[in-house]
Amino acid sequence: MIDAPDAEVLREEAEERLRALAGEHAVLRDDQWAAIEALVVDRRRVLVVQRTGWGKSAVYFVATALLRELGEGPTVIVSPLLALMRNQIAAAERAGIRAVTINSANPEDWEEIYSQVADGLVDVLLVSPERLNNPDFRDNVLPELAESAGLVVVDEAHCISDWGHDFRPDYRRLARLFEELPPGIPVLATTATANARVTRDVAEQMGEDTLVLRGPLERESLHLSVVRLPSAEQRLAWLAQTLHELPGSGIVYTLTVAAAHEVAGYLREQGHEVAAYSGQTDPAERLAAEEALLANKIKALVATSALGMGFDKPDLGFVVHVGAPQSPVAYYQQVGRAGRGVERAEVILLPGAEDRDIWAYFASLAFPPEPVVRATLAALEERGVMSTPALETAVDLSRSRLEMMLKVLDVDGAVRRVKGGWEATGEEWAYDTERYTRIAAERRAEQEAMLGYLTTTECREHYLRRHLDDDAAHPCGRCDNCTGRHRSPDIAPQAVEQARERLSRPGVELEARRQWPTGLPDLSGRIKPELGAEPGRALGRLTDIGWGNRLRELFHGGDGPVPDDLLRAVIQVLAAWDWRERPVAVVSLPSASRPELVRSFGERLAQIGRLTYLGELGYRAGSPGQQFNSAKRVQAIRATLAMPKDLAGRVAECGGPVLLVDDRVDTGWTMTLATALVRHAGAPAVLPLALATVS
Ligand SMILES: [Zn+2]
């Protein structure tokens, strides 16, 4: 024990802690020590802006160890990366730091964790930013935690600033937390991606006397290039042709979930080991995919920006973007995941003409116009507490946009999250036109800068770092513009033809689920292959511009026989389906809301395709209702979905692959569990088919 923080003794101590954490040869760099000293000795607020891999977690774990030794309370870390911090937590535990997490996946443990914190048994408490939005946590737990904390850490702090490209409503609460925090509790905010304005804004929100430590963002292994190809099929073909030449394993980023699945599907057809990854991928599958990439078991993850913050693979060999992100800052953040621990990493951008339409689409998802917000507030005032699904029927916004708007209104004090949904507080609320206009203008400027990157003839790294206000930026000598070695846009004509064929194929692939969700007592890990499905098909995505409109119209109406135009289109999907073995029979799923639609869909398909219609699965008692997480959903479906005895007999008798049909696939769990029932009854293969899919 040391009585008073003496800087020299402390540095010795810090070095020792670092060695326990990172190995016997680890040495604190001066800038890391500067941050630790400011926190532990001066008890200041510190904003660290350093490139990924600089060692931010070492700073907060070492500072935690020192503060705990001085008798201070535990460190509270707010981080969106909890799931990805497993390695760091394990390292901290080896160094004698006890870390626990509070997130939506472990509610049964919270009480126990709070009492451990109160008893001084916890050194680090990790909290997801979404927790800050939970009324009980926000009102009762957080103030107490903050009061007794020895250190407060905010990871990915650029999300606090609405000047940033990645602003998150949950983070706005942090500004208030900073204000209310008792003096003398040190605060560390860290980010790898902040230009001068975002840095200034975050520092201001942290408080007047914030110390800003900002380092150069250069990464000497990155080789940046841009390949401009006019059509989507050319980009797909170019990627399929080039992927095996790229070093190691890497990430292929796409702008949309649909594109991630499309690109992954095509690359797999061309013999590449890749997997799709998006925010809609189930947590268990995401984890399995991340681990496959970390272990170099696959060539690439084809991912949306959901694969992002905190994903740490030092030997990541390449990052390819099919479609340009909206800002140089976002782009530099994503490519910065490559080449942390290797000498050379390839960074390639394949921009598309449609990128700007996609940007415009995302822009249209920004904060809704005033009349929509007013209508929401009026509905809440009139009807009291409403759930999000109930609000969806009153306000014409998508689920994600509605939730985003409610979070903003919550932080502004106009609504409140309560048991059973949301209620209006009755507090006066003003539509901040100036703020939304300013943010929109900022986005447009960023987009212009990104378009400039595509055509610039100057050093690409210099260009990006300049947009991050990195004063140390200089020509890199490695990018295509510096070296004059531009990647060849040549592609074999038959490869382009194959890609075109793939893109014009009617229907959407339904990827079978491969992992059970976590948190179930009796199901976990991989779904047994003998209970699994073949790749399936849907006519279209509800979000698509093409069939999406027609399908949304169908689902807005009531039940009825399957419409002829949709049936004709599905026949085309069947005709283009490259199944391994032709199905011989059809089974339909039971439907609580559209029994006639689903049954007639199955029967008429069987009729037209000369297949045997075997019948429909049943519900034991009532339908499973609605659940919002996979584990609950799976439990509810297992409790209700049933295979009637006579149907099981007919499935066993028919002996061939079965087409399993439903009207729409949302989470995919009904289809997955129905497949398992049909396979269990003796079908050698199951091919899922739906009119619509949400992903
Ligand atoms: Zn260069």
Q: How far is the CA of 141 from the centre of ligand 1 (A)?
A: 50
Q: Which of 11, 120, 124 shows the shortest CA–CA distance to 61? A: 124
Residue-level pLDDT at 4: 53
Q: Show me where the domains of the chain are located.
A: 4-214, 222-359+459-498, 362-434, 504-693
Higher-confidence position of 419 and 246: 246
Cβ-contact 349, 252 below 8 angstroms: no
Residue-level pLDDT at 330: 86
Residue-level pLDDT at 2: 46
pLDDT of 476 higher than 60: yes
Q: How far is the CA of 194 from the centre of ligand 1 (A)?
A: 21
d(CA 64, CA 40): 9
Q: Average pLDDT for residues 110-114, to the nearest whole number?
A: 85
d(CA 174, CA 157): 9
Residue-level pLDDT at 316: 94
Q: How far is the CA of 225 from the centre of ligand 1 (A)?
A: 9
Q: How far is the CA of 424 from the centre of ligand 1 (A)?
A: 53
Just give the CATH number of 4-214.
3.40.50.300
Q: How far is the CA of 322 from the centre of ligand 1 (A)?
A: 21
Residue-level pLDDT at 374: 93
Q: Which of 374, 365, 382 shows the shortest CA–CA distance to 409? A: 374
Cβ-contact 659, 587 below 8 angstroms: yes
Q: How far is the CA of 467 from the centre of ligand 1 (A)?
A: 15
pLDDT of 132 higher than 50: yes
Q: How far is the CA of 578 from the centre of ligand 1 (A)?
A: 45
pLDDT tens profile 361-415: 777 767 788 998 999 999 999 999 998 878 877 787 777 788 888 888 888 889 9
Assigned CATH class of 222-359+459-498: alpha beta
Q: How far is the CA of 477 from the centre of ligand 1 (A)?
A: 5
d(CA 49, CA 190): 6
Q: How far is the CA of 222 from the centre of ligand 1 (A)?
A: 10
Q: How far is the CA of 336 from the centre of ligand 1 (A)?
A: 15
pLDDT of 502 higher than 60: yes
**362-434: CATH architecture:** Orthogonal Bundle (1.10)
The β-bridge relationship of strands 250-254 and 415-418 is unpaired
Q: Average pLDDT for residues 619-634, to the nearest whole number?
A: 78
pLDDT of 8 higher than 90: no
Residue-level pLDDT at 145: 80
Q: Answer whether 4-214 and 362-434 agree in fold.
A: no
Cβ-contact 515, 630 below 8 angstroms: no
Residue-level pLDDT at 545: 54
Q: How far is the CA of 315 from the centre of ligand 1 (A)?
A: 22
> Does the global pTM surpass 0.85?
no
Most confident of the ranges 25-34, 158-167, 283-292, 392-401: 25-34
pLDDT tens profile 552-598: 888 888 899 999 999 999 999 998 888 989 999 999 999 988 999 99
Higher-confidence position of 271 and 215: 271
Q: How far is the CA of 484 from the centre of ligand 1 (A)?
A: 10
The β-bridge relationship of strands 508-510 and 536-541 is antiparallel
Q: How far is C-alpha 314 from the geometric centre of its chain's CA atoms?
A: 20
Tell me the pLDDT band of 663, cut-offs 50, 70 and 90: very high
d(CA 161, CA 149): 24
Q: How far is the CA of 489 from the centre of ligand 1 (A)?
A: 20
Question: Using H for helix, E for strand and C for coil, what is the string for 26-68?
Answer: CCCCHHHHHHHHHHHCCCCEEEEECCCCCCHHHHHHHHHHHHH
Strands (E), 280-376: 300-303, 318-322, 345-350
Q: How far is the CA of 42 from the centre of ligand 1 (A)?
A: 41
Q: How far is the CA of 475 from the centre of ligand 1 (A)?
A: 5
Strands of the sheet with 124-127, listed across from one edge = 99-102, 124-127, 75-78, 151-154, 187-191, 45-49, 211-214
Q: How far is the CA of 461 from the centre of ligand 1 (A)?
A: 5
| Low-confidence winner among 129-143, 324-338, 461-475, 676-690 (lowest mean pLDDT) | 129-143
Q: How far is the CA of 517 from the centre of ligand 1 (A)?
A: 45
Q: How far is the CA of 457 from the centre of ligand 1 (A)?
A: 10
pLDDT tens profile 221-274: 999 999 999 888 999 999 999 999 999 999 999 998 888 988 998 999 899 999
Q: Which of 138, 160, 158 shows the shortest CA–CA distance to 48? A: 158
Q: How far is the CA of 313 from the centre of ligand 1 (A)?
A: 24
Q: How far is the CA of 637 from the centre of ligand 1 (A)?
A: 55
Residue-level pLDDT at 1: 42
Determine what percent of the chain is predicted with pLDDT higher than 70.
95
d(CA 461, CA 475): 7
Q: Average pLDDT for residues 464-493, to the nearest whole number?
A: 92
Q: How far is the CA of 483 from the centre of ligand 1 (A)?
A: 7
**504-693: CATH architecture:** 3-Layer(aba) Sandwich (3.40)
Tell me the pLDDT band of 28, cut-offs 50, 70 and 90: very high
Exposed, middle or buried by CB within 10 Å (0-12, 13-18, 19+), for 125?
buried
Higher-confidence position of 57 and 454: 454
Q: How far is the CA of 198 from the centre of ligand 1 (A)?
A: 25
Per-chain mean pLDDT for the chain: 88
Q: How far is the CA of 482 from the centre of ligand 1 (A)?
A: 4
Tell me the pLDDT band of 487, cut-offs 50, 70 and 90: very high
Most confident of the ranges 30-39, 95-104, 351-360, 498-507: 30-39
Cβ-contact 674, 512 below 8 angstroms: no
d(CA 318, CA 54): 19
Q: Average pLDDT for residues 123-131, to the nearest whole number?
A: 84
Q: How far is the CA of 485 from the centre of ligand 1 (A)?
A: 11
